[in-house]
Amino acid sequence: MPLLGPGDLLPRRPRRVLVAGTSGSGKTTLASRIAASLRVPHVELDSLYHGPSWTKRPSFEEDVRLFSAAPSWVTEWQYRAVRAHLADLADLLVWLDLPRKTVMRQLIRRTLVRRLRRQQLWNGNVEPPLRTVLTDPEHIVRWAWNTHSRTAVRIEQLVARRPELSIVRLSGHAAAERWLRGPLQQTERG
C-alpha cells in the first residue's frame, strides 16, 4: 500500500494506531488527539519505559504486551524492544515526518520549559540540568538531532515487511490538523 497523505481516506476505521516520528516531533500529543477522536485508550510508552532516575522499568516489555493485547489503543512507535511487536499488531501507522529544524525548535522549547519549571515527568523524573546537553551524548536534544533520519529508514523497512499496513505521512502540523479534521473524522462516520 502506498503512503497516504493528509487528504487521503483511510480504508477502514483503525483500532490499533501507532504514531511514529523523531523525539520531540509531537508523537504523544498527536497520539492523544487520535485516541480522543477514536474514543480508544492512549498509552504513553514513555510512562511505561521510564522508571526512577531515568532507568528502564523491568516490567516495560510485559506492560506493553498486556496493553497491546486489547482490541484498541493508540501509542507511540518507539523503543527497539517493542517496536516490531507493536508494528505487527497495528492496523494504522501515522508518521509525523517534520523537518529537523521544526523538531529541534519544538524540542529545545519543550526541554527548556520542562527544566525551568522543574516539571515532573514519569516516576518523579525531571529534565536534567541544561548544561548536560553539552556533556551527555544521549541528552534528548542531541539524541533527536542524531537520530532524525532513522524514522524514515524504519518506515521503509516496515513497508517492505508489512505492505498491507496503512501508513499516513504528515509533513507538518497543518497536515496533521487537516488529517485529524478530515479523513480521520470521515472514517469515524463511515
For residue 188, the model assigns a pLDDT of: 58
Q: Which of 101, 107, 119 has its CA nearest to residue 23?
A: 107
pLDDT band at 1 (very low <50, low <70, confident <90, very high): low
Model pLDDT for residues 132-151, shown as the tens digit of each residue: 888 888 888 999 999 999 99
84 vs 89: CA distance, rounded Å: 9
**Helix runs in 69-139, H state only:** 80-89, 100-116, 132-135
Q: What is the CATH number of domain 16-105+149-189?
A: 3.40.50.300
**Helix runs in the chain, H state only:** 27-38, 45-49, 60-68, 80-89, 100-116, 132-135, 140-147, 150-161, 173-181, 183-189
For residue 133, the model assigns a pLDDT of: 85
**Residues counted in the chain:** 190
pLDDT at 97 over 70: yes
Q: 177, 31 in Cβ contact below 8 A?
A: no
pLDDT band at 187 (very low <50, low <70, confident <90, very high): confident
Model pLDDT for residues 74-93, shown as the tens digit of each residue: 999 999 999 999 999 999 99
Per DSSP, 92 falls in state: E
Would you list the domain boundaries of the chain? 16-105+149-189
